[in-house]
Each structure stands twice: as structure tokens, then as C-alpha cells.
Amino acid sequence: MSPLDFMQFRDYLTPASGFQSLQFRLMENKLGLKSEHRVRYNQHYSNVFHSNSEHLVALELSEQEPSLLNLVEKWLERTPGLEKDGFDFWTKYQRGVQQMLDKRKDSALVRTDP
């Protein structure tokens, strides 16, 4: 997030202490922002918190715990139908829809009016 974007967003953080807001850094870490992808002048953001060991520990923990990005990646990796070889989403999708429609049609044909 750029500094200008943060200026618009910071009012949602309480207390909003500026560009080094602990809450904002924790949120970035939980979303999965890696230090190498941070804005160049802010890659070592944790240095700002060196005087507060509680904050530093919280930051370190947030960097070590699984992030939302990690969890979504793992979930997507488990998603069936994403084979590398021979993956044909459209054919599988059409087959699934056709099976569903056939079942509904068969169910409707079995019913009788009272």
C-alpha cells in the first residue's frame, strides 16, 4: 500500500499512529505481504518497534504464523480438478452440469400430479 493510500486508510486503525502503525503492519503480515515485496524504504519496518519488546514479539509472531495468502494457496492446491496434465475444465464442467440436469429431469418424470 502506498503512503497516500495509507493516509486514507489510517483512520480505520485505532490508534492511528502514522506510517509505522503496529496494527497496520500486523494486518499486512496476516495478509501475506513479504518483506521483499514492501516499498523499498520500509522493508525493515520492524526497526521502528525495537524499543517496545511486546510489539516486536507480536510482529515476529505475525511473520511466522500462516498468512491468509498461505492458507488460500493451500486450499487452492487441494481443489480437485486442477491437474497439470490433461486438465480440461470446460469438459468437466459441462459433464457435471449435464449430470445435474439429468438427475433433475429424472426426478421430475417420476413425480405424478395428485
Are 44 and 86 part of one and the same domain?
A: no
Are 39 and 85 part of one and the same domain?
A: no
Phi-psi region of 26 (alpha: psi -120 to 50; beta: other; left: phi over 0): alpha
Task: Output the pLDDT for position 83.
Answer: 63
* Closest by CA position to 21, among listed 35, 34, 40, 7: 7
Are 11 and 55 part of one and the same domain?
A: yes
d(C-alpha 35, C-alpha 21), whole Å:
16
Q: How many domains does the chain have?
A: 2
Q: Which domain holds residue 52?
A: 3-64
Are 60 and 8 part of one and the same domain?
A: yes
Q: Are 26 and 62 in contact (CB under 8 A)?
A: yes
Does the residue 70 lie in any domain? no
pLDDT of 96 strictly over 90: yes
Are 55 and 12 part of one and the same domain?
A: yes
77 by Cβ neighbours in 10 Å (0-12 / 13-18 / 19+) ranks as: exposed
pTM: 0.52
Task: Output the pLDDT for position 79.
Answer: 74
Q: Please write the tens of the pLDDT for every residue from 6-60.
A: 777 767 766 655 555 788 888 889 999 887 777 776 666 777 777 888 988 998 9
Does the residue 103 lie in any domain? yes
Does the residue 88 lie in any domain? yes
